[in-house]
Amino acid sequence: MMSNISLKTRYFMAEFYGTFLMIFLGVGVFSIIGNYLSIALIVGAAYLLSAYTLDHISHAHFNPIITLAAWIDQRLTLKTALLYWGAQLGGAIFGYLSLPLFNVQVLFSRSLSFSARDYGLFAFVAYILVYVYLAVSENDKKRPFLGLAVGSTYMALTLLTISSTFGILNPLRALEMTSIVPVILMILSLASGTLLATLFYKGLAYQATKYQKHA
């Protein structure tokens, strides 16, 4: 029966579940434990586990900025990128809605503010995360290391920036925030870092990855 599921449905299911897991575990641990090292380890482990179980289906994005980079790099059509973004949004919402089961309520409940330096950090972490993903996923020889490489990057960046940016490496964390201006600036900062990383990656003339290009 599972063999009858279309490829696009598999993409959606994989991205939905992987994003759900990262939001549910990362935000949940942040709210319950609050220990920076524990949060960073859980975020990295969540990506690693999701990547090693779902990479063969959707190439393990679980973050809209990764999908944006893949689209800019022509690894995805716009139609497929939109499918990914929809799945990621759905997975994030489901992750946030699942947290009250553990007495954690964060959906649209945080009043966060950031300095100009923090917005620079958002762009910086997006640049590093996106570049690592693009470089490690560029060919079949490197792909077995994707979960470990990107998971470690998530862990390190979370640990280094959590005191000022709350460890936000994913624009879907905007679902926690009540103020619209910080949300817009945060998303723009992450997008700008993503764009710069993708252009730099393309400028180094890596060989194209075998990637889905379905219409």
pLDDT digits (tens, 9 = 90+) for 85-110: 999 999 999 999 999 988 888 888 88
Residues for the chain: how many in total? 215
Mean pLDDT of 123-136: 96
Give the per-residue pLDDT at 154.
97
Poorest-confidence range of 14-18, 110-114, 179-183, 189-193? 110-114
Instruction: Work out the pLDDT band at 215, boundaries 50, 70, 90.
Output: very low
pLDDT digits (tens, 9 = 90+) for 42-74: 999 999 999 999 999 999 999 999 999 999 999
Nearest-5° Cα angle at 52, 46 to 58: 95
Contacts of 94 (CB under 8 A, 6+ apart): 16, 20
Range 88-127 burial, b when 16+ CB lie within 10 A, else e: bbebbbebbeebeeeebebbeebebebeeebbebbbbbbb
28 vs 33, 91, 152, CA distance in Å?
8, 14, 19
Give the per-residue pLDDT at 32.
80
